C-alpha cells in the first residue's frame, strides 16, 4: 500500500493523528519561564511570514505578559533585600539597648533589694481612684500604690520595695496589676514595667529578643520606651 503524503492534509487544513499527538504533548509541558518565553518570541519574529505578520494585539499581549513576569521577579528580589536590611538595622538598634532601661508591657516587676521599681500605665480616658497593686508570685497582697484621679496619657509610678507596713521585701520578681474607675465602672489596665536589658538574641522564629534583668525575654517590637 503506497505511503500517504501528510502534506496533502495540511494543505486542505486537516490534521493527522501525529499532529494531534504533537500538539497534546506540547500543551502538557509546564509553563514557560522567562528564557523560554523570550526564545519563543524571538523565533516567532524571525520565522513569521513577512506578508502575514503577527497581529499587533497578539504581539502587545505577549510583551505585556513578559513584562509582568519580569516585574514580579524583580519585585520579589527587592522585597527580600528590604527584609534583610530591616532585620540588620533592627539588630543594630537592639544591640545598642544593652545596659539601658526599657519600658515594656508586663505584669511582673523585678526588685533588686534596694532600688525602687518603676513603670507606667497608658490611659485613653480620665480615670478616678487609679492604683497599682503589688503582690508576690503566689498572689499574696503586699502593697497598693495610690495614683488618684488621672487624665489621659502615660502615668508613671514606682514601688519602693516595701510592704503596706513599711517592711523591706527581699529581692525577686513581683506581680503588678493596675485598676481604676471610669464613670461607675471599675476597670483594669495593662501596666508597662521598666527593666534593664542584659543581652540581645537573634531568633529566626521570633525575631530579635531582649533578655531582661529579671531573666525574662521580650520582643524588640514590644519596647515602648528607652530610658
Residue scoring higher pLDDT (125 or 37): 125
Band of the pLDDT at 20, cuts 50, 70, 90? very low
Burial class (CB in 10 A: 0-12, 13-18, 19+), 128: exposed
Higher pLDDT, 2 or 58: 58
The residues, any chain, with a CB within 8 Å of residue 119's CB and separated by 6 or more, are 103, 109, 132, 156, 157, 158, 176, 191, 192, 193, 194
How sure is the predictor about 53, in pLDDT bands with cuts at 50, 70 and 90? low
Q: What is the DSSP code string of 133-163?
A: EEE-TT--EEEEEEEEEE-SEEEEEEE-SB-
The predicted pLDDT at position 62 comes to: 58
Write phi, then psi, for 119 (nearest 5 degrees).
Answer: -170, -170
Report the percent of the chain where pLDDT is more than 90.
43
Does the pLDDT of residue 30 top 50, yes or no?
no
- Is residue 213 scored above 80 in pLDDT? yes
Residue 172: per-residue pLDDT: 93
**Overall average pLDDT of the 199-209 stretch:** 75
On the question of pLDDT at 11 being above 70, the answer is no
Grid cell, residue 167, equals 517592711
C-alpha distances in angstroms, 13 versus 10, 19, 22, 96? 5, 12, 16, 76
pLDDT, residue 38, reads 67
Q: What is the mean pLDDT of residues 180-208?
A: 88
59: part of which helix (H) or strand (E)? helix 56-95
Mean pLDDT of 190-199: 93
Beta bridge pairs of residue 111? 172
pLDDT of residue 85: 53
* Lowest model confidence (mean pLDDT) among 63-67, 121-125, 132-136, 145-149: 63-67
Grid cell 499532529 in the structure block, residue: 19
**Residue of 114 and 201 predicted with greater confidence:** 114
Residue 36 pLDDT: 67
- The pLDDT of residue 208: 82
pLDDT in tens, 76-125: 666 665 655 555 565 666 677 888 899 999 999 999 999 999 999 999 99
Q: How many CB atoms lie within 10 A of CB 70?
A: 13
What mean pLDDT, rounded, does the chain reach?
77
Amino acid at each position: 500500500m503506497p505511503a500517504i503524503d501528510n502534506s496533502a492534509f495540511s494543505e486542505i487544513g486537516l490534521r493527522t493523528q501525529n499532529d494531534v499527538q504533537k500538539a497534546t504533548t506540547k500543551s502538557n509541558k509546564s509553563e514557560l519561564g522567562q528564557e523560554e518565553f523570550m526564545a519563543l518570541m524571538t523565533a516567532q519574529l524571525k520565522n513569521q511570514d513577512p506578508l502575514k505578520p503577527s497581529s499587533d494585539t497578539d504581539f502587545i499581549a505577549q510583551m505585556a505578559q513578559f513584562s509582568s513576569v519580569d516585574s514580579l521577579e524583580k519585585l520579589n528580589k527587592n522585597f527580600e533585600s528590604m527584609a534583610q536590611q530591616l532585620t540588620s538595622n533592627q539588630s543594630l538598634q537592639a544591640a545598642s539597648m544593652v545596659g539601658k532601661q526599657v519600658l515594656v508591657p508586663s505584669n511582673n516587676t523585678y526588685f533588686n533589694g534596694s532600688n525602687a521599681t518603676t513603670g507606667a500605665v497608658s490611659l485613653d480616658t480620665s480615670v478616678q481612684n487609679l492604683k497599682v497593686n503589688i503582690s508576690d508570685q503566689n498572689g499574696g497582697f503586699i502593697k497598693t500604690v495610690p495614683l488618684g484621679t488621672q487624665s489621659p496619657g502615660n502615668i508613671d509610678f514606682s514601688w519602693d520595695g516595701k510592704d503596706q507596713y513599711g517592711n523591706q521585701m527581699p529581692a525577686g520578681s513581683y506581680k503588678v496589676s493596675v485598676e481604676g474607675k471610669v464613670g461607675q465602672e471599675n476597670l483594669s489596665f495593662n501596666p508597662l514595667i521598666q527593666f534593664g536589658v542584659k543581652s540581645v538574641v537573634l531568633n529566626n522564629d521570633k525575631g530579635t529578643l531582649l533578655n531582661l534583668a529579671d531573666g525574662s525575654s521580650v520582643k524588640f517590637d514590644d519596647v515602648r520606651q528607652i530610658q
